């Protein structure tokens, strides 16, 4: 998969119920203008190996042409991408929630939200 052609890309935890809900909301707000990929999909593993580091699974990522933003650092670029992206993806997104954790409780919502705000990373792409 050529990453430059598919940017902006949102990479999320596709084994978490809450993260899948987040990705569905982002996909709805983006009106199909963002490429959304799960961490544990084949493309997600490829992206983790090519671009991201060992902290990749700790947060969601927004990858644009020059930078990979993770967690808190990805929130503002995500809002900008939602507003300005004009690329139309032709494929219909399929979201599979293979949650094997206790993701639907109030405690897990709080923990995931705190994790989003506490984790932050930016990686410059070559």
Residue range 12-65, pLDDT digits in tens: 988 888 888 899 999 999 988 899 999 999 999 999 888 888 888 889 999 998
Report whether pLDDT(83) > 70. yes
Write out the DSSP string of 72-118: GGGHHHHHHHHHH------SPP-------S--SSHHHHHHHHHHHHH
Q: Please tell me the distance from the alpha carbon of residue 63 to that of residue 52, in angstroms, as a whole number.
A: 10
pLDDT band (50, 70, 90) for residue 67 = very high
Place of tokens 């959304």: 36
Domains in the chain, number: 1
Residue 92 pLDDT: 53
Question: Is the pLDDT confidence value at 78 over 90?
Answer: yes
Q: What is the residue range of 111's domain?
A: 3-124
The yes-or-no verdict on residue 73 having pLDDT over 80 is yes
Distance CA 75, CA 6 (A): 19
Instruction: Tell me the mean pLDDT in the region 106-125.
Output: 82
- The pair of structure tokens assigned to 24 is 């569905």
Q: Is the pLDDT of residue 100 over 80?
A: no
Q: How confident is the model at residue 102 (pLDDT cuts 50, 70, 90)?
A: low
**55 vs 100, higher pLDDT:** 55
């Amino acid at each position: 998969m050529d990453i430059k052609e598919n940017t902006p890309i949102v990479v999320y935890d596709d084994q978490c119920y809450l993260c899948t809900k987040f990705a569905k909301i982002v996909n709805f707000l983006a009106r199909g203008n963002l490429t959304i990929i799960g961490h544990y999909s084949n493309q997600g593993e490829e992206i983790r190996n090519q671009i991201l580091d060992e902290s990749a699974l700790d947060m969601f990522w927004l990858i644009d042409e020059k930078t990979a933003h993770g967690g808190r650092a990805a929130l503002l670029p995500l809002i900008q991408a939602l507003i300005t992206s004009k690329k139309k993806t032709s494929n219909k997104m399929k979201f599979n929630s293979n949650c094997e954790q206790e993701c639907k409780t109030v405690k897990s919502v709080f923990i995931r939200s705190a994790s989003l705000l506490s984790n932050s990373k930016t990686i410059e792409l070559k």
